[in-house]
Amino acid sequence: MNDPLTRAIHQVRDWTYENYHWAYLAGTAVLCNSLFFPNPAHTIYAWLTCALLGAVLEPCVNPYRQIYGSNLGRLREGVALTFDDGPSEDTPALLDLLKAEGVKATFFVIGSQVEKYPDIVRRIAAEGHALGNHTASHPNLMICTPGRTRRELERVQQQIQELTGQKPTWWRPPFGFRSPWTQPVATRLGLRCALWTINPRDFQDPGASVIVERVMGALDKGVIVLLHDGLQKRGQTLEATRELIHRLKEQNIRFQLLDESDA
């Protein structure tokens, strides 16, 4: 992090996440201009194309839009801790922590990870946590056909039911990306879409204290917190989760599962 180039890259990345709409607008305009209108005199057409594409595509990548299907982004009360991309070798330590603290969480699991760690999936269910569907291979569903989307979701539904006897009712699209036909496919499988209120970007490995402050700085009634327990080492997430639980308990905030929400 002492390298100036690395710091600059991290600053640009953080600005992009924190100023999502401006980044989307600028990026789409530059792309349109370079691909379709390389003549500077035609820049106005690039911006018009950007506006058209934005109207169609922005709701596909914005977790707070519901144009292409309803999603749960906030509860009526309490806080929901959710963990994506597992299970993994780091999940047992996380489960140990949650058990010791008496906290329940929701785990959105990937089918390929379920195949590697079936015993952990059984433990998640046995200890009273909720299991959600995070697709079989973690693809970008914006570019998946309806058939591919259905297969991705069906596979995980079958895996979880075979291992635990439970059938998930919630699913979360990888990256929060979905296409106009994604949610109708999921709905036909009996799945509701759950996104998030707070994304502290633990996947960036910014340090446990940064993860905690990003959550606490945006804390509000009924928030759903997006964290991760797979696809890379999650030591920072574990440390941050421990501190978050302690801080939230100090404020007498109730932890709850998505299934407990009547939102």
Question: Is 84 one of the annotated active-site residues of the chain?
Answer: yes
CA atoms within 13 A on the CB side of 81: 26
Answer yes or no: 202 catalytic: no
Cα–Cα distance for residue pair 229/237, rounded to 1 Å: 7
Which residue among 14, 84, 90, 134 is the active-site one? 84
Residue-by-residue DSSP string for the chain: --SHHHHHHHHHHHHHHHTHHHHHHHHHHHHHHHHH--SGGGHHHHHHHHHHHHHHHHHHH-TT--TTS-EE-B-SSSEEEEEEEE--TTHHHHHHHHHHHT---EEEE-HHHHHH-HHHHHHHHHTT-EEEE--SS---GGG--HHHHHHHHHHHHHHHHHHHS----EE--GGG---TTHHHHHHHTT-EEE--SB---GGG---HHHHHHHHHHT--TTEEEEEE-SSS--HHHHHHHHHHHHHHHHTTPPB--GGG---
Q: Rounded CA gap, 212 and 88, in Å?
A: 22
Catalytic residue of the set 129, 134, 138, 228: 228
CA distance 111 to 125: 15
| Residues labelled catalytic | 84, 228
